[in-house]
Amino acid sequence: MKSVIVGTAGHIDHGKTALVKALTGIDADRLEEEKRRGITIDIGFAHLELPAPNGETLRLGFVDVPGHERFVRNMLAGVGGIDLVVLVIAADEGIKPQTREHFDICRMLAVRRGMTVLTKSDAVDRDTLEVVRLEVEDFLRGSFLDPANSPIVAASSLTGAGLDEVRTALAKIASEATAKDSTGLARLPIDRVFTMKGFGTVVTGTLVSGTIRKEEELEVFPGGKRVRVRGVQVHGSSSEQATAGQRTALNLAGVSTEDLARGMTLANIDTFHSTTRVDALLSLLPTAKPLKEGARVHFHAYTMETIAEARLYGTKQQKPGEEAFAQLRLAAPALLLPGDRFILRQFSPVVTIGGGIVLDAVPPIRKRSPEQAAAFLQITREGSPQEVLSARVARRGAAGLPLQDLPTEMNLRQNDAEKLAAQAGLLGCNQVLISQNAFAEAKADVVKTVTAFHDANPLVSAISKEELRDRTNLGPDVFHAVLAKLAEEKKLEIAGEQARIPGRGVVMKDEESESKKIIEQAFASAGLKVPSLKEVLAGLKVDKLRAQKIVTLLLRDKVLLKISEELVFHQSALTDLRQRVSALKSTTPKIDVARFKDLTGVSRKYAIPLLEYLDRERVTRRVGDERMIL
């Protein structure tokens, strides 16, 4: 069964709610004040099933909107997710101010299909009805409701005249409407929040994409609170799931009505990020005033609204009827994605001035020239999916684009993004996408950095990976992929946590080689009665810094071994010690400090650190005041 959302539009008291009731049998005015005053104040909902021309059953969900100018903000909360519109014009009044404003809003939201109903046809004679029809045809000509393609039907909710013709036209238009993507990522903009006795917190909205299932966990945007779906209703009937294009009610666990409000969005967990700035294409109505750089506007997208500041790219003022790229800086965070449509209303007086489409929901914070921003946005507007993804990855440079950011970047599932990346010729570094140019530049930078390290540190054979990553400022996924590729190409040698250029190592001057021999000999000849390192280094010809590097080299090559903060021994002396102590096991299975001092001839200053070293090497194990020889 195909689900289609139908929105009404039109001036106050032109019969939108009466038409919906006549078609569906449901009164969309649910508020007591609406019934008392006889006007629609907030959005209302109804549903209807119709047979399509091909025999398929169509499920139409109606979103009935208020027509009074004071309630346009409520109207905007209802039309964001509609698939087609029924423009309602009363035959006894013709085109009025909110007829024009609602029609402009539908055009700004890129509604592509719909029909026009001339209501209250029973209130005028045939000649008057024909005059109004001609006026409406002229008003709609050249638009998506052009009479050449979209029907204009005269009807009366009071007498029932024309209603069958309205249903037939609706069925045809709805059957031609493009179905929303039920396989995409789920998003439900909330338009109502209330408590139902025996159930708890309930929210309603039009599911604009994806599928929501019973017992599924969802995330609330903004805020990030987690909720569980206890129950699902579609058009008033219980269901195991709701799919894109359906009016949906969710009974939620883990949240109260105080935590939720119209304008919030429910979506898949751990998928999206809220934003407070978007880059967009703005379109001004011909009737609007010029939009100045930095102007404040009312921003409406789906069910949310906030104040936004418009920062224009490449111009100080956008003229009426023109398009321009701009960044909209929102006063409150919202879940917005590329492709989302929005409406702009003047800050004061509050009238509709235009709208647009979100092109980038995560624009860089760093400074860009207007030309750079416009060039990127032009690609996102007109490029193929592969070109758009390539541009988004390229602008990240060597940092790459994490796959987990792609839902917010492009409203894509990860597996779809990976297929797209392969088609675009992008490289996958574990969970990060990077352009081939950026990867090549990262490789060159790593080689250059390691080479510079060798040049500056001739007494150090290699650079640590940690220091290398810090110097190149690469993310871990890209960094390890670069190292692996350079090692494969034999442009880099990796040994444990060290990296070096093949053929490069320690390069010593004569006095440095001499100093190295002196240090090694000093400790080798001392046995276990070693001098202090400070004393040995003081007698060298090289400066203190180079002397310390030579010691580091000897320690790295395990010629010298440091067993405590103050004591360094030659490896041969410690090897001999381990063998001597092990040899005692057959005659003396235990040894204490005094016996150890007699065996080695060292003082307690040396004996304790050496015994602790033997414990670490598992030659001995301490038991009380003695050591068990293992």
Between 89-98, 207-216, 617-626, the lowest mean confidence (pLDDT) is in 617-626
Q: Is the fold of 2-176 the same as that of 510-629?
A: no
Asked if pLDDT for residue 135 goes beyond 50, the answer is: yes
Condensed to tens digits (0 to 9), the pLDDT of residues 533-545 reads 787 787 777 777 7
Asked if pLDDT for residue 16 goes beyond 50, the answer is: yes
CA nearest to 439, candidates 372, 499, 486: 486
Task: Look at the block and give the residue holding tokens 């919202």.
Answer: 334
Of the pLDDT bands very low, low, confident and very high (cuts 50, 70, 90), residue 509 is low
Kindly provide the residue ranges of all beta strands, DSSP E only, lying in 514-567, ordered along the sequence: 560-562
Q: Which tokens hold the place of 414?
A: 């990860």
Residue 559: its pLDDT value, please? 86
Q: What letter would DSSP give residue 180? A: P
Of the pLDDT bands very low, low, confident and very high (cuts 50, 70, 90), residue 34 is very low
Condensed to tens digits (0 to 9), the pLDDT of residues 444-494 reads 999 999 999 888 877 777 888 999 999 999 999 999 999 999 999 999 988
Cα R_g (the chain), whole angstroms: 38
Which CATH number applies to 275-370? 2.40.30.10
Residue 77: its pLDDT value, please? 78
In the chain, the percentage of residues whose pLDDT exceeds 90 is 57
Asked if pLDDT for residue 39 goes beyond 60, the answer is: no
Between 95-104, 383-392, 550-559, 612-621, the lowest mean confidence (pLDDT) is in 550-559
Asked if pLDDT for residue 546 goes beyond 80, the answer is: no
Mean of pLDDT values over 606-614 = 91
User: Any idea where the domains of the chain sit in the sequence?
Assistant: 2-176, 187-268, 275-370, 383-507, 510-629
Which segments of 303-434 does DSSP mark as H helices, in order?
Answer: 370-382, 385-394, 406-410, 414-424
Residue 166: its pLDDT value, please? 96
Mean of pLDDT values over 317-340 = 95
Name which residue leads in pLDDT, 384 or 457.
384
Q: Are 181 and 210 in contact (CB under 8 A)?
A: yes
Name which residue leads in pLDDT, 42 or 167.
167
Q: Which fold has domain 2-176?
A: Rossmann fold (3.40.50)
Mean of pLDDT values over 177-194 = 90
Q: Are 170 and 86 in contact (CB under 8 A)?
A: yes
In the chain, the percentage of residues whose pLDDT exceeds 70 is 96
Residue 548: its pLDDT value, please? 78
CA nearest to 305, candidates 259, 267, 355: 355
Mean of pLDDT values over 614-624 = 90
Q: Are 252 and 230 in contact (CB under 8 A)?
A: yes
Between 171-175, 210-214, 326-330, 500-504, the lowest mean confidence (pLDDT) is in 500-504
CATH 3.40.50.2300 is right for the domain spanning 187-268: no
Of the pLDDT bands very low, low, confident and very high (cuts 50, 70, 90), residue 181 is confident
CA nearest to 19, candidates 136, 114, 116: 116
Residue 118: its pLDDT value, please? 97
Asked if pLDDT for residue 355 goes beyond 60, the answer is: yes
Name which residue leads in pLDDT, 227 or 588.
227
Task: Give the pTM.
Answer: 0.79
383-507: which CATH architecture? Orthogonal Bundle (1.10)
Q: Which fold has domain 510-629?
A: Arc Repressor Mutant, subunit A (1.10.10)
Name which residue leads in pLDDT, 549 or 187.
187
Mean of pLDDT values over 161-179 = 93
